[in-house]
Chains A and B, each alone.
Chain A
């Protein structure tokens, strides 16, 4: 029998949604091992809200490790607590989310265990008892398939890939208090991200507007859509509207082939006739909204809606807000 440990994340005492993905991924890995259990682990100052629901995603047991210093992320304290648990529990795999915290925590745990780390994995399997992981490399231009020999396999899972799957099974719960301090690295506070600092070239989601918006004030419609994505979206602009002075240069989506490569690119009122296409072509998913069904952008887009953007975009904003609750 194999044992998989899923490391969950909480913030302000509540489990973050990405934890469901971690459990789902851990469950998938456990099923691949065959006849395996999934334990979910969360570090917190006290009980973590939402921990009881985790069983529904495939965890056989949820363990909350409490320590007064664990309210905020405490890299060294968390890492030590996890390592102790892994060693005591004889786990075959330890799974993290490849979130900001997860990508920070997983390497520490792996190094302490003397184990390699497969970071930001998009698929897992088991072959001959060894974990096989697939992960994107070269900015997603290729996929790397790796085999992890030995135990435990340590992995972090790319967000938005292991879509949570509900199972009608509740898990057991366990709470244990852990000794020790937070460690030398102390999180003092979490500040709100300053508004509008998301760089168009770096944002995971870009909502871009073109001349179809008719006037500068109408960009508000895109700003609202971007805001609905919860701080992960930047508003871009076609060169035409930047040159017309509607939007600042910094928002311009490159026209000279600068690779802007967000996960999701939403082109609103952008015809795609000339400058826009080259720069954003390598986006993972392109959505186009345009009232002209023959607009060239539809040839490049993965999904398109033909329609009046002033009707479509607010509706989209509404739907996205619902999703992010």
Chain B
């Protein structure tokens, strides 16, 4: 089975967000970068599918700066066979730009499956996977939490509000992975050693013009001081009103 996994280098989820002097991005000083956690499910799924099929190849592809090589090596240490870095100055905020670059690389690959994490934990864009599918005219299912594949057809389960959607699709296909799909393996010691020797192609990439401009990265609104709404059951109606109208969480 030939599987491609598109991965992203992202700041660790515990990163304290400090806004860079340009006012549009985070200050990267001291920030720890990791493989996007949702992509780990994708890499793990690819490895399992290949292992199940008994033969094949898992290729990981990342769009990003040179430092993303380290992220690719993490996936190689998990067991992927080779990596491709589409090297660009920065990862674009515009998902379509990213999708265009990735689709160009994936097009001639002859992949049975192309996997993405459902979203990146930095930009929460939740779009590159299905966009790539459109550009390649491939069927796509997003946020897959359960997957079965047999004889060139797949059945996926994805979480929707109040239920689970069961979806069928033919291969080749693009899937984006959600938590619960599998339990990603830790890279083994031997895997870490082997990763250094696996092929990693770096291809300088120019991004196509985008239609989206980042104007600013801003801190969230200050948290207001808390208030005691009232006492006892009598205060509940007011609490619910505040949660609906003021806090907007209901």
Interface of A toward B, CB cutoff 8 Å: 16, 73, 75-76, 79, 99-101, 103-104, 106-108, 110-112, 114-120, 132, 135-150, 160-161, 163, 183-194, 199, 202, 205, 230-232, 259, 263-264, 284-287, 293, 298-308, 311-312, 314-316, 319-320, 323
Contact = CB atoms under 8 A, between A and B. Distances in A.
Given A116-B212, A263-B249, A307-B235, A107 B131 contact: yes
Contacts of B123: 137, 144
Contact of B226 (A104, A148, A299, A311): A299
A199 B158 CA distance: 15
B161 A231 contact: yes
B243 A293 contact: no
Given A311-B232, A319-B237, A115 B226 contact: no
Given A298-B228, A307-B233, A139 B13 contact: yes
B122 A137 contact: yes
Contact of B248 (A135, A140, A163): A163
Chain A interface mostly helix, strand, loop or mixed? mixed
A301 B226 contact: yes
A308 B232 contact: yes
A132 B218 CA distance: 14
B140 interface: yes
A193 B146 CA distance: 13
B232 A111 contact: no
Contacts of B99: 111
B188 interface: no
Interface stretch (B41-49, B73-81, B167-175): B167-175
Contacts, number: 255
Interface in B122-137: 122-131, 133-135
A104 B175 CA distance: 11
Nearest to B221: A143
Contacts of A76: 139
Given A144-B217, A285-B249, A302-B227, 7 more contacts: A75-B140, A138-B122, A147-B213, A185-B168, A187-B166, A193-B164, A303-B239
Contacts of A184: 139, 169-170
B: interface residue count bin? 35 or more
B177 to A, nearest CB: 14
Contacts of B249: 160, 205, 263-264, 284-285
B92 to A, nearest CB: 10
Contact of A149 (B93, B95, B126, B213): B213
A114 B211 CA distance: 9
Interface in B208-250: 210-220, 223-224, 226-233, 235-237, 239-240, 242-245, 247-250
Contacts of A119: 95, 124-127
Nearest to B142: A104
- Counting chain B CB atoms within 10 Å of each CB, the highest count among A100, A137, A232, A301 belongs to A137
A108 B169 contact: no
Interface string B105-149: 000000000000000011111111111011100011111000000
